Amino acid sequence: MDDSKALFDYWHDRVRLKNYELIAAPEHVPTQDLRHDCTNYDDLWRSPEVQQLDEPERSRVIAIIKYECTAKVLQNRAGRLRDRANELEAASYEQDQQKSKLLSLIKALQEKLFGKNKEIKRLEARVFSLEAENEALRSEAENNKAKTELVTELEQLQKKYNAVEKRRQELAQNNKSLGGRVAHTKRYKQQRDEAIVLIEQQKQQIATLVQESQRLREENERLYQKLK
């Protein structure tokens, strides 16, 4: 075993690995622990084949055994950690892909939800608009009805007034034909008083109707301002 390369190769072939879980441990493991706990280093340097050698050859062989055990276990650990890193990187890439898909799905759902919210708000605004329009139409209808009732009432009062005036004229004509100044004066006064009372009543009724019409007009104006 004088040839150095042959000596290295010889002991390299005799190195055996064990305790692979410790070799692949992700945390830091001291080199001497890997050499003692994960190879047959102690068995090799204590073997009779080594112990029977004379110094300094024995120390030289032990150093070679130490190197080969250390190199082999570190190379194996490096390969395992590299494979583990590749697996983690692949898993991270897969997670990124899944995350991207999930984010895209969330975005699509948010867009749909936002679109539905916009549609709901549009419909709500339409409902409010229709309600306001309906209320305006109702107010206009009530206003027209009030105006019609007022006109009808005024026409009826005018007819009554005309009838009273006609009756007064008839009574006056009758009084002329009957003769008698005193009787004529009494009748005329009575008719005049009755006509005055009736006209005053009609005036009060007309004034009441005009006030009611003004109140309805103000109420309609107030409702109209609210609907703006």
Q: Is residue 56 part of a domain?
A: yes
Q: Do 92 and 177 lie in a common domain?
A: no
Q: Is residue 112 part of a domain?
A: no
The whole-angstrom separation of Cα 99 and Cα 138 is 58
User: 10 pLDDT exceeds 90?
Assistant: yes
Q: Which two tokens stand for residue 143?
A: 């206003």
* Number of domains forming the structure of the chain: 2
Q: Do 88 and 141 lie in a common domain?
A: no
Cβ atoms of 35 and 70 closer than 8 Å: yes
Q: Do 90 and 52 lie in a common domain?
A: yes
Tell me which residue range forms the domain holding 150: 132-227
Q: Do 137 and 59 lie in a common domain?
A: no
Q: Is residue 127 part of a domain?
A: no
Q: Say what the pTM is.
A: 0.43
For 31-57, letters b (16+ CB in 10 Å) and e give eeebbebbbbbeebbeeeebeeeeeee
Q: Do 12 and 70 lie in a common domain?
A: yes
Q: Is residue 119 part of a domain?
A: no
Residue range 152-174: mean pLDDT, rounded: 74
Q: Is residue 123 part of a domain?
A: no
Percentage of the residues of the chain whose pLDDT score is greater than 90: 35
The whole-angstrom separation of Cα 116 and Cα 215 is 46
Q: Is residue 114 part of a domain?
A: no
Q: Do 154 and 222 lie in a common domain?
A: yes
Q: Is residue 194 part of a domain?
A: yes
User: 1 pLDDT exceeds 50?
Assistant: no
The whole-angstrom separation of Cα 217 and Cα 219 is 5
The whole-angstrom separation of Cα 39 and Cα 17 is 5
* pLDDT tens, position by position, 101-145: 888 888 887 888 777 777 778 878 787 776 766 665 565 655 566
Q: Do 97 and 12 lie in a common domain?
A: yes
pLDDT at 67: 96
Cis upstream peptide for 30 (omega within 30°): no
Q: Is residue 115 part of a domain?
A: no
